A and B are shown apart, each in its own frame.
Chain A
Amino acid sequence: MIELEGLTKRYGEKVAVNNLTFTVHPGTVTGFLGPNGAGKSTTMRMMLGLDNPTAGDVRIDGKHYAQLKDPLKYIGALLDAKAMHGGRSAFNHLLCLAQSNGIPRARVHEVLDTVGLTAVARKKAKGFSLGMGQRLGIAGALLGDPEILMFDEPVNGLDPEGIHWIRNLMKSLAAQGRTVFVSSHLMSEMALTAEHLVVIGQGRLLADTSMSDFIRQNSRSYVRLRSPQRERLLDVLHEAGITAVEAGNGTLEVDGAGSEQLGELAAQHQLVLHELSPQQASLEEAFMQLTAESVEYHAHADHQPPTTADPGSAPPPGGTPPGQGWGATWQQPGKGN
């Protein structure tokens, strides 16, 4: 179990990690998701005691990292596939790590076998491909047979076979009851491996939820309708027992009815439709929207272009882009004259 409490890292003015509090539970794969530069690697380095937090605390099974006796037996981490001396052989790289934590030499052979590097164990690491380097890094993480495993972007740059191997490895490690904490900037990757999800953006916690909840909340499919006869359309839908939600800009969103059904219904009542479009929010979109919000001012960002259907209507309140609100133009009359 890993517990973060108010973890904060500041580099001068820039806040890389901002008051993160969450817990990584055993027996599941927890995905640590965020766009590039969100602070994932910094957070992981602080978890391992490599970087000092500006504020807050990380505890591994209730202890600080530096208090762990033979830490590789508690937590194994793959931070960077190239975090090794290229001139050292794979075997010696693992051997020096094993010796520092009192792990027997035989275990080095075991993990080399697990990751499939036995044949190149005596080769220098600098001749390794990215995939082989990644496997060697993972071998190092597995060395102490730890209860907690941490992987930073493990599938980056891997071929499909390697990606498949890492996914299965993480799942089997979690199935053995271990804590697996894996970072990624790809939602689609997480959807395949993680059961729990921690999302950060700009160093702040955006979501801490189970994957199934995240999917339920975010992968909604609906039909978008737009009509100049909006009131009549609403009546017709109501009579047919279909609930429509107003979504601003004069559009309606309908859950639980197909576009065919809605189109036929409108035709029956001779209603003009300007739009009838099935919509599917993918997990990737949901993730992008979630993290984009950490950058932008507005909590709701609808990227639909401004409507031309109703030129007389006032601009929608949410449609003004940030920075061009009422205050931004106050100097313009003076400039113009």
Chain B
Amino acid sequence: MAATQVLRSEWTKIRSVASTVWTLGLAVVVTIALGMLISILSKNDYDNLSREDKITFDPTYISFAGMSLGQLAMIVFGVLVVSNEYNTGMIRTSLAAVPQRGTFLFSKVAVAALLAFVVGIATSFVAFFLGQAMLGEYKAHLGDPGVLRAVIGGGLYMTLIAMFSMGVAAMLRSPMLSLGILMPFFFLISSILGNVSATKKIGRFLPDQAGSKIMQVKSPFDDDTPYGPWGGLGIMVAWTALALLGGYVLLKKRDA
């Protein structure tokens, strides 16, 4: 079984269902639109900021504000790519065609991740440029220190969040269960844990909090995060690898 055959097959699968277009489309639109909106609001509010806040004002990160919502569409994309196999019964047809379950799962993840990366990086650049345009005189430039890293990091962040969701969906199989856990976790629980001082030290090791560090150019004043931008991304990569490994182990031993 040549892996290239399976990759081509997975590409056909992913491009031939409507959910791919609308989940990725939604991720693009929401991330960019919300980023622009918050950039406008930030610009208008700039004069009211304290002196400290003006120093740590991070126009790059502000233009990525839409990702908090856009990532949810990326999660739906990741979940559906995998769980579509299960809730339709397609999994039995797929595994009869490709009995090497590792090849099957990782080809699927590779194709979906590549697509998520292309869409993610494009979204990230567009969100940055349009966000900066809205920020007017306070804008950052791509050549400024750390900015290019943050913009590329935005694309990586979206890719990793989709891959993490694929791993979770491979473990749980049901799309409802997967989304029911992932959506509230990333939209609510993670940010609550990260903002309550008692749980902050744990919260910042969660995949989204650690991963989003790469999109920051300037750190807040009281920042005592024990990792840098790439360290944070590394933590997110570790979470993603763990989720995919879990999905692989369960797929390997489970009856289809």
Contact = CB atoms under 8 A, between A and B. Distances in A.
Q: Which 3 residue pairs are nearest across A and B when measured between Cβ atoms?
A: A100-B9, A92-B16, A83-B89
B197 to A, nearest CB: 46
Q: Which of A85, A89, A100 has the most CB of B within 10 A?
A: A100
A68 interface: yes
Interface string A167-200: 0000000000000000000000000000000000
A140 interface: yes
B17 A85 contact: yes
B255 A87 contact: no
A96 B17 contact: no
B253 interface: yes
Contacts of A48: 92, 95-96, 99
15 contacts: A48-B96, A65-B99, A66-B99, A84-B90, A85-B88, A89-B16, A92-B12, A95-B16, A96-B12, A97-B9, A97-B93, A97-B97, A99-B12, A100-B5, A102-B5
Nearest to B256: A50
A97 B8 CA distance: 10
Interface string B88-128: 11111111111110000000000000000000000000000
Contacts of B10: 96
Interface string B67-100: 0000000000000000011001111111111111
B13 interface: yes
B19 interface: yes
A102 B2 contact: yes
Contacts of A99: 5, 8-9, 12
Contacts of A92: 12-13, 16
A87 B18 contact: yes
A69 interface: yes
B95 A51 contact: no
A86 interface: yes
A104 B186 CA distance: 43
Contacts, number: 92
Given A52-B253, A100-B6, A100-B98, A82 B89 contact: yes
A251 B182 CA distance: 72
Interface size class of B (residues with CB under 8 A): 20 to 34
Contacts of B19: 87
B196 interface: no
B198 interface: no
A96 B9 contact: yes
Nearest to A52: B255
A102 B88 CA distance: 24
A246 interface: no
Interface in A26-82: 45, 48-52, 65-66, 68-72, 77, 79-80, 82
A277 interface: no
Given A82-B89, A85-B84, A99-B12, A71 B97 contact: yes
B92 A69 contact: no
A221 B16 CA distance: 58
Contacts of B12: 92, 95-96, 99
Nearest to A50: B256
A280 interface: no
B88 A86 contact: yes
A41 to B, nearest CB: 10
Nearest to B15: A92
Contacts of B91: 83
B94 to A, nearest CB: 8
Given A70-B1, A96-B12, A99-B8, A49 B95 contact: yes
A111 B86 CA distance: 25
Contacts of B89: 80, 82-84
Given A99-B12, A102-B2, A87 B253 contact: no
Contacts of A140: 93
A88 interface: yes
B195 to A, nearest CB: 39
A127 to B, nearest CB: 13
Given A48-B92, A50-B92, 8 more contacts: A51-B255, A66-B100, A83-B92, A87-B17, A88-B16, A92-B16, A100-B97, A101-B5
Nearest to B6: A100
Contacts of B96: 48-50, 71-72, 77, 79
B15 to A, nearest CB: 8
Given A68-B99, A100-B5, A88 B92 contact: no
B90 A50 contact: no
A95 B13 CA distance: 9
Interface in A250-301: none
Nearest to B85: A85
Contact of A45 (B9, B16, B17, B255): B255
A254 to B, nearest CB: 52
Nearest to B101: A66
Contacts of A84: 88-90, 93
